[in-house]
Amino acid sequence: MSLLKEAQQLLDKLKTAHKKNDWPAGKAVLGQLRIKLIQLPAVPPNTGFSSPTAQQELLLARDVYEHAVLLALKSQDEAALESSFTQLKTFYADTRSLLPAAPQEWMFAGLDLLRLLVANRIAEFHTELELIPAEGMTVPHVVSAVQLEQWLMEGAYNKVLAAGKSLPPECSFAVEQLSATVREEIASCAEASYSSLKLADAQVLMMMTSKKELEQFAEQHGWAIEGDLVHFHRAAADDANAEQHLRLINQSLLYAKELERIV
């Protein structure tokens, strides 16, 4: 029982650290809390031991993991974010039968989806999406994550950037990275589809605020700026040729090998 009380006190400390956005302090408290959680008998992976305070312990553990995720989000620490999300998800899965459903479960699922989307891990995004049932699909976080993915796939980047400004507050970590990704995408699309573009138009297209930014960007990508126009390079055809030759050679070798095998 005293174990539970101690854990509760630590959790309160964690909450205050979270409110103050104090990542180092929060991390320290989190470390202590994790040790306490292992000692509590009813928390997974200690399933099999039932104790009179089982429900409280499980609720406590859930609170701890959720706050761990929120803290990691605020501090933008990638590795911590990854590990805390994994822990939270496994915890939800394990205790689905033991605890009443938490409405915030789907909010966290939505945040996870957003994180995967921004990191361009689309295959994992979709496998996670499969796990969300119909009732989870109406939660605003999930809805915005799915919409963003659709728009990114279609190529409606202007919508993506507009939506980025209107995301819920927890998703602030995503907005910056999203803008960067989107800008890169627009740049590569523009390279392939325009032969040349006026500077002013290019600026609007890539949603940049100043001409200088555009010039820097253009230098990075190897575009030539002549007067008022930006000329996009076309990729050299030589690489393509070499690749083709290699492919033909491989194919011919395959045929030779297989035919020899036919007795």
Partner 1 sequence: MVQEQAAAAGANDAAPSAKDAEQQQPKPFSVKEGMQGIITLLEKAVKTKETRLLMGRLMRQTAMVRKHMTASDLVAFINTYLPMDSKSAGFLKGYVMQDGDTAPMEDDATAAGDAGDGADAGSAPGPSQLPEVELYMYLLLLVNLLDRKQFAQAREVADTAVGLLQQHNRRTLDAIGARIYFYYSWAYECTGALADVRSTLMAAHCTAGLRHDAVGQETLLNLLLRNYLAYNLYDQAEKFRSKAQKADTWRVPGQYCRYLYYLGTIRAIQLEYTEAKEVLQQASRKAPTCAHGFRVACNKWLILVRLLLGEVPERVEFSAPGMRTPLAPYFELTCAVRSGDLAQFRVVSEKFAAAFRADRTTNLITRLQYNVIRTGLRRINLAYSRISLKDVAEKLALPSAVDAEYICAKAIRDGGIDAVLDHAGGFLATRELTDLYSTNEPQAAFHERIAFCLNLHNEAVKAMRFEPDAHKRALAAANGGKEQMSVEEIARAIEEEEEDDM
Stretch that binds partner 1, among 7-15, 18-26, 106-114, 147-155 (CB under 8 A): 147-155
Q: Does 94 bind partner 1 (CB under 8 A)?
A: no
State the nearest-atom distance from the C-beta of 263 to partner 1, in Å: 9
State the nearest-atom distance from the C-beta of 117 to partner 1, in Å: 13
Cα–Cα–Cα angle for 38, 44, 50, rounded to 5 degrees: 95
**Choice from 35, 242, 248, 249 touching partner 1 (CB under 8 A):** 248
**31 or 155: whose CB is closer to partner 1?**
155
Q: Does 81 bind partner 1 (CB under 8 A)?
A: no
Q: Does 184 bind partner 1 (CB under 8 A)?
A: no
State the nearest-atom distance from the C-beta of 99 to partner 1, in Å: 17
State the nearest-atom distance from the C-beta of 165 to partner 1, in Å: 17
- Cβ-Cβ contacts under 8 Å for 221 (sequence gap 6 or more): 187, 191
Q: Does 205 bind partner 1 (CB under 8 A)?
A: yes
Q: Does 7 bind partner 1 (CB under 8 A)?
A: no
Question: In b/e form, how buried is each residue of 212-234, taking b as 16+ CB within 10 angstroms?
Answer: eebeebbeeeebeeeeeebebee
**Choice from 193, 210, 226, 236 touching partner 1 (CB under 8 A):** 193
**Choice from 23, 92, 108, 157 touching partner 1 (CB under 8 A):** 157
**Choice from 191, 199, 208, 225 touching partner 1 (CB under 8 A):** 191
Q: How far is CA 224 from CA 15, 62, 92, 104, 219, in A?
A: 53, 55, 53, 50, 8
Distance from C-alpha of 36 to C-alpha of 31, rounded to nearest angstrom? 9
**76 or 252: whose CB is closer to partner 1?**
252
Q: Does 254 bind partner 1 (CB under 8 A)?
A: yes
Q: Does 155 bind partner 1 (CB under 8 A)?
A: yes
- Give the residue among 88, 66, 69, 91 at the shortest CA–CA distance from 80: 69
Q: Which residues bind partner 1 (CB under 8 A)?
A: 122-124, 126-131, 134, 146, 150, 153-159, 185-186, 188-195, 197-198, 201, 205, 244, 248, 251, 254-255, 258, 261-262
